[in-house]
Chains A and B, each alone.
Chain A
Amino acid sequence: MQRPDASWVEPSPSQPQVALGTVATGLLNTSEPLPLDAAQQALALVPGVKADWRQYPLEQVVSPDLFYGLDCRLAVKSGSQPRIIGTARAKAILTAGHVLQGSARVDVLLDASKRRLSWSHYMAHAGTAEAINKADPSDIETGFLRGQSGKSLLDLGSTGAYVMSLLDQVPQIDRRSRLKTQSQRLLWAAQVREDVEPFGRIEAGEDGIFRVRMVTPSALLPQFVEFCEILALHHWLLASLKNAFDRSARKGRRAEGELDPALSYLGHVWNPTAHLPHEMRWLWDALDDEAQLSWEWHTTLTRVRDKVTLLTRKAIEETLHKEVL
């Protein structure tokens, strides 16, 4: 038997080279926005820790980080799929008392060890997973963003969705939302390198999913993740408002039934730079310059309001007509 000594602990590099994440966005199933204090209680998902919050210019409550054990594979283009072991971190974010997000993330340390170590090692680096075999960071990025699913493949989308589902059970909500929306996912992947200028690239896929690819120094990674959360929120807002508008035009629907809740739930929430970290403004500005998300939002909102105005006028005219008769 080998004598236990220092050589038992395999040396590991300290800095994750890749970070992967998903942000799921949906509507909290409640009829009216949750007031700040109720939101703070609902998002205190870990006993003994309270939720973080902001009030200006838009209320936002952020749950403490939750951690999930991982021992799975990463999708790659070629060669064997690297096995990763460790933990993913996830949190719930509630904006304007109504828009709920589950943001899950794992930092990946490549080429860390040759075998699975004792669990205490991974618990001391919570939020990080270590890859056992060698792998190329950009290959991992591409593989993850493809969003492939498989029995043993990393599935952060489910982690985010699970965190959101924790809010289905809280006593603060009444489960009587009046607006139909669909949850939506954003995928992001970042290469962490200290020697580069930060770089970001956003791709809108045929499947309606936004994918963000970034290169960033470790100090800016949290801000990059916040950017992704903000982008996910606004992409969801836009899609939900457009969907409500489309539904209102369909036959057999009461247009007001679709437009009223869309206006009262979503109309005031658009504000992409509200909580955007200062260091990330350049990326949002550049994105909005090309993709014109703000333009599309304001146009859609105007169309919704115009339609409500027209419907109102029609209703008044009908009432007057009846009175004349």
Chain B
Amino acid sequence: MVYSPSRVSEPPAPVFRERNRGTTVQNLPLSHLSVEVGHFFMEELENGEEPIFEQFRRVKPWLDAAKASVVSGDEKPRVSTCFLIDDYFQSWPDAPSIMIKLLRLSEEAGVTIDYVARESACARRRDGFVVAELLAKRLLEEPEPDLDTGARPPAMVSGWLSNGKPMREAVVLNAMEAHNWDAPLEYGKRNHSIYVDVELWQDRADLATDQDDLQKGRQYSCPFLAAVWQLVRLGLLRKDGAPALEVVDFDGEWKPEWSQFPDVVRVNPRAMPFYAYESLSIMPQHFLPIETAVRTIIDHFLVQPDVMESLDLRAAEKNIAVPAVISERMSHHFLPGRK
């Protein structure tokens, strides 16, 4: 049987419409560029003032250059600065004095910090919501050439994410061939492979009795949390349409424990918006491998389509050129030297 109807005349216009969007994407206040002005391990924040001052001093000219070259379309440039406290893997006491010292030294070096965030909040917010799982559940592994037909369910169970296929020992057919193996492969390679495999988290399966338990005990890796941090700054990680981490104003007092700090706090009342179309991170060069891992993770992040649309629409209205690929919205400057 074949039915091939022809088009008939237009019916009258509809009068009833109903489509309830489960989630409405919030329009965020946006800067053109969010600059991360340096990064320290917790023990570096604890010990001595000189190295801290020194890093901020070296950040300063690059921050100025970034401000001078920001892409802002038809608008007056808006740039905000931020700093991420490394409190997830080591949480030292004496939070208030560290914060006061940090803000004073950055100011002395000519670098104004507008916003301070905690790395722990990128795993779990102060209200208990596990932000990291928003990213974990939105990662899509790369399909294997000629094998992924849509029939294989996605598997993100190992806690590792790669851009290809690892090296494999091949079956040894002949005892004389001692070293027989398949080379690793980057699926999107150009001529030669750079195979990257990133540890996203570690589960303590021995302590867990069910899935919930497993997730509670999950320890996220530094690149994974940094990827959350980048996506939050770019306004791309949302919960029910609102930013995954929200900004609050500084209330004038630093609480004694890091865990009592807000997720993201505005310390400069005159700051431009925290979220931005693009991001720049200025940091010592020993963070380069971590940031490579961050980019690998973000290259596998499936953004909520209407979130991306809402940002792109606003950028287009103001003639701001924003790349379609998320990792192209991020840039880095690595400071030379050891620290």
Contact = CB atoms under 8 A, between A and B. Distances in A.
Interface of A: 8, 40, 44, 46-56, 64-65, 67-73, 83, 85, 87-88, 104, 106, 115-121, 123-127, 152-156, 158-159, 162, 197-204, 278, 281-283, 285-287, 289-291
Interface string B238-260: 11100010000000000000000
A290 B146 contact: no
B146 A152 contact: yes
Contact of A202 (B3, B13, B21): B3
Band of interface residues on B: 35 or more
Interface in B124-177: 133-134, 137-138, 140-151, 153-154, 163
B153 to A, nearest CB: 5
30 contacts: A46-B138, A48-B134, A48-B239, A50-B23, A51-B22, A53-B20, A54-B18, A54-B19, A54-B20, A67-B140, A68-B154, A69-B142, A70-B143, A71-B143, A72-B146, A85-B143, A115-B190, A116-B188, A119-B187, A121-B188, A123-B300, A124-B325, A155-B149, A155-B151, A158-B150, A158-B151, A198-B7, A200-B5, A289-B5, A290-B3
Q: From DSSP, what is the main secondary structure of chain B's interface residues? A: loop
Nearest to B133: A47
Nearest to A165: B153
Nearest to A86: B143
Given A72-B150, A278-B14, A119 B300 contact: yes
A243 B196 CA distance: 54
Nearest to B12: A278
Contact of B22 (A44, A126, A158): A44
Interface in B185-219: 187-188, 190
Contacts of B303: 126
Nearest to A158: B151
B70 interface: no
Given A118-B188, A120-B326, A286-B6, A70 B1 contact: no
Contact of A69 (B1, B134, B143): B143
B2 interface: yes
A282 B325 contact: no
Contacts of B142: 69, 119
A126 B305 contact: yes
Given A124-B326, A162-B151, 18 more contacts: A40-B22, A50-B23, A53-B22, A54-B18, A54-B19, A54-B20, A56-B18, A69-B148, A72-B148, A106-B150, A121-B188, A125-B324, A158-B151, A201-B3, A202-B4, A203-B1, A203-B3, A282-B11
Contacts of B13: 278
B324 A291 contact: no
A154 B143 contact: no
Contact of A70 (B11, B148, B188): B148
A41 B79 CA distance: 40
Contacts of A72: 143, 146-150
A317 B14 CA distance: 51
A49 B22 contact: yes
A123 B22 CA distance: 23
A294 to B, nearest CB: 14
A158 B152 CA distance: 8
Nearest to A49: B23
Contact of B153 (A56, A85, A162): A162
Given A53-B20, A87-B140, A117-B188, A65 B3 contact: no
A101 B211 CA distance: 27
Contact of B302 (A126, A162, A200): A126
A47 B14 CA distance: 34
A287 B5 CA distance: 7
A153 B326 contact: no
A153 B147 CA distance: 9
Contacts of A156: 150
A47 B11 contact: no
Given A71-B144, A117-B188, A159 B151 contact: yes
